[in-house]
Structure 1
């Protein structure tokens, strides 16, 4: 039996998740928390296998709660379940020690499968979250500057150098310099290849 603590600040969500999980074979909810502080207390009390953690909560948020639970080595793995798929929140949650990241629009079967995967020692990631992590790694590996990333994204949109310059408030010469650097770092030989590279890496 996989024992679960659910942490979410919305009562309707807590109730819905509890009903869904208790109805699933091999899963049982042993505690329900409305904020991160309650989640930490429940994990200390019940020592669950998995904590289903929302990120946006009053008081102690999901990232802080995850960090505390992991730091105390309470034996629980944290699976984030949130509405947010932006890069900053994903990185914050993973850096805090979460082992998986799912979004609230996931199918019920996918959520249940994700909890079981965490209990097996795996790390389920929503495809959108995985794409953000890959994109962030690509940015770090290539060391593209924030401005180069902006230019590349506008190339993907189909803007010409003059339009990019106007959008960013820089000269066309500067745009060309950024493109030259982008081509060198990505191995692209033209704008089309650079745009395709950006799309493959989720930029």
Structure 2
């Protein structure tokens, strides 16, 4: 994965923690947004952990560029402060998650692994549904959303859902974001639990 943060001490400590976990391989470290985007284009990592505020290009601009260029990398944003509005906007633009720098390193490692599996990772109170552009919580689920939450209940990840339904990963992620928005949740397990509570799953 690629780690991008303009604070060298934080970047180095974060990379070290990720490497020491034994579950993440760092292939590049970047000090600004231009370096980060160049690394993503050249190395095409599964995940890029990117500081939301960086010189030259900020995290949101990197998310947009990755989606615009159809790069295979999932961008996980990290910031000193996380608001519902900003995290919701990041989700709408296509970010795979948004983390606070205050969370323990173990949670960051777990978030990277989750994003690598095709999940999205947003902290409570800063979920995609908080975005003014997201679907308001509530309302009936579409047939496709019902298929997706049923697949989640069977333990499938988003890439496996896309394969089962014969749709693109990006399409599955779009349906998943809408599903999360309607249910007011931020991950697969919560979506299944809420769908069961509302009677969408039996």
TM class by shorter chain equals 0.5 to 0.7
Pairwise CA distance, 1:92 = 3.0
Residue in 2 aligned with 1:85? 82
What CA distance in whole angstroms lies between the structure 2 residues aligned with 1:125 and 1:116? 14
Helix, strand or coil at the partner of 1:89: helix
Determine which of 100, 124, 133 is the counterpart of 1:127: 124
**C-alpha contact 1:117 1:124 (8 A) present in aligned 2:** yes
Partner Cα distance (2:124, 2:61) in 1: 24
| CA separation of 1:123 and 1:14: change in aligned 2, threshold 3 A | same
Deviation at 1:140, TM superposition (A): 7.9
**Aligned mates of 1:36, 1:103 — CA distance in 2:** 18
Deviation of 1:116 after TM superposition, in Å, equals 0.5
| Long gaps (5+) in structure 2 | 138-202
Alignment of 1:3-14 (within 5 A): 4-14=1-11
Deviation track 1:91-113 (CA, whole Å, cap 9, x = no partner) reads 33222210111111111111111
Instruction: Tell me the TM-score normalised to structure 2 length.
Output: 0.62
Residue pairs, 1:1-203, within 5 angstroms: 4-130=1-127, 133-136=128-131, 141=136
Please state which structure has a larger fraction of its residues in helix.
1
The CA deviation at 1:55 is 0.8
Aligned equivalents of 1:108 and 1:123: distance in 2?
18
Q: TM-score, normalised by structure 1?
A: 0.62
Q: Which of these two proteins has the greater Rg computed from alpha carbons?
A: 1
Deviation at 1:46? 0.9
- CA-based RMSD of the aligned residues comes to 2.0
Deviation, structure 1 residue 134 = 4.3
Task: Provide structure 1 residue ranges, at least 5 long, that are not aligned to the other structure.
Answer: 143-203
Spell out structure 1 runs of 4+ moving beyond 3 A.
133-137, 139-142
8 Å contact kept, 2:129–2:135: no
How many corresponding residue pairs? 136
* In 1, Cα distance between equivalents of 2:136 and 2:17: 41
Describe the shift of the 1:68–1:25 C-alpha distance in structure 2 as closer, same or farther (beyond 3 A).
same
